[in-house]
Amino acid sequence: MILKPTGLLHLYRTMPSFLKEPLRSIYYSNMMKLWNPIILRKIRREIEKLNNIYDAVEFAFSFEYLALSIRPIQIKYEITRLLEIVKE
């Protein structure tokens, strides 16, 4: 008796790459629908703890949850200075 690999995982592994990409995007979008409420709840809880501009900037640079990060590309000083100007 010869054992043959079967199942969806085998099918996915053996299919051409041009067919894999649409499946990846469907999987990712469905997973984000599941994780979004959890991530947003975590962000809301953390935001409630913020007291000032500096805490908010630190939060933006340090937040990471379920492999999601909201770290800005800008330098921390630039963002802080902009928020100080807007606050005035």
Please name the residue that has the structure tokens 């199942």. 7
Please name the residue that has the structure tokens 């770290």. 71
Backbone φ and ψ for 5, nearest 5 degrees, come out as -70, 130
Region 57-83: mean pLDDT is: 89
Is pLDDT at 80 greater than 80 in this prediction? yes
Is pLDDT at 33 greater than 70 in this prediction? yes
What pLDDT is stored for residue 1 in this prediction? 45
Going from the C-alpha of 40 to that of each of 14, 49, 59, 66, 75, the distances in angstroms are 36, 15, 14, 11, 25
- Cβ–Cβ < 8 Å for 64, 73: no
What pLDDT is stored for residue 67 in this prediction? 73
Query: Which residues are CB-neighbours of 72 under 8 A, at least 6 positions away?
Result: 60, 61, 79
